[in-house]
Each structure stands twice: as structure tokens, then as C-alpha cells.
């Protein structure tokens, strides 16, 4: 059950973070075997669409007041070799943490 004022429940948050970590792990592996240069931009684009839609279904904007986080992640995912960094994991985790802190009135 989601806390009052929180748009994302614990189960959804877990699956969002788990999928982000899985996507980042796939991108890191593909970079190691050198086919990530071709496939990582495609995976990054599809991940942006996935998380954009998923967060919007919970009334949370990834661009919102801080567009640098989202567009920085998109840029990171399109750069060869650098796309192996855990950009999606950081973006999803910080967005969920920020929403929970806002819901509690901490920030």
C-alpha cells in the first residue's frame, strides 16, 4: 500500500529500480563485448520511452523542474563506452527518492 501523498508504491518502486539496474547491466555487458556501440543507443532510447511513460502514469514528470537529470541521462546513454555507466539506475532511484521526500514534506 502506498503512503498517503506518495505516487509510487513500494512494489512499483522496487520493480522500477530493478528494471533500471537490469538495463544498465545489459548495457555494461554489451559494452564489454564491443557490440554496445551499436545496440546501447537503441536500448537507451527505448528505456527513455519506458521510464517516461511509466513515471507519467504515476503523475511524475522526468523532465519537470530539473530537465538536466533526464536529458543528461539520455546524452550519457548515447555516448559510446560511457553508456556502460548506471545512468538509468541513478535517474530512477533519485526520482523515486525525491518524490518520497516531497510527499513527506522534507524538501
- The per-residue pLDDT for range 21-71, each reduced to its tens digit, is 999 999 999 999 989 889 999 999 999 999 999 999 999 988 887 789 899
Question: 81 near 31, Cβ under 8 Å?
Answer: yes
**Which pLDDT belongs to residue 5?**
57
Q: Which residue would you say has higher pLDDT here, 3 or 96?
A: 96
pTM recorded for the entire structure: 0.88
**Which pLDDT belongs to residue 104?**
87
**Which pLDDT belongs to residue 6?**
63
Amino acid at each position: 500500500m502506498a503512503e498517503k501523498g506518495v505516487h509510487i508504491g513500494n512494489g512499483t518502486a522496487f520493480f522500477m529500480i530493478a528494471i533500471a539496474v537490469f538495463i544498465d547491466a545489459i548495457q555494461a555487458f554489451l559494452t564489454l563485448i564491443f557490440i554496445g556501440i551499436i545496440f546501447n543507443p537503441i536500448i537507451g532510447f527505448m528505456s527513455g520511452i519506458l521510464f517516461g511513460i511509466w513515471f507519467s502514469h504515476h503523475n511524475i514528470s522526468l523532465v519537470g523542474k530539473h530537465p538536466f537529470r533526464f536529458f543528461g541521462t539520455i546524452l550519457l546513454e548515447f555516448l559510446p563506452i560511457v553508456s556502460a555507466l548506471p545512468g538509468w539506475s541513478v535517474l530512477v532511484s533519485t526520482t523515486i527518492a525525491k518524490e518520497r521526500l516531497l510527499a513527506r514534506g522534507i524538501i
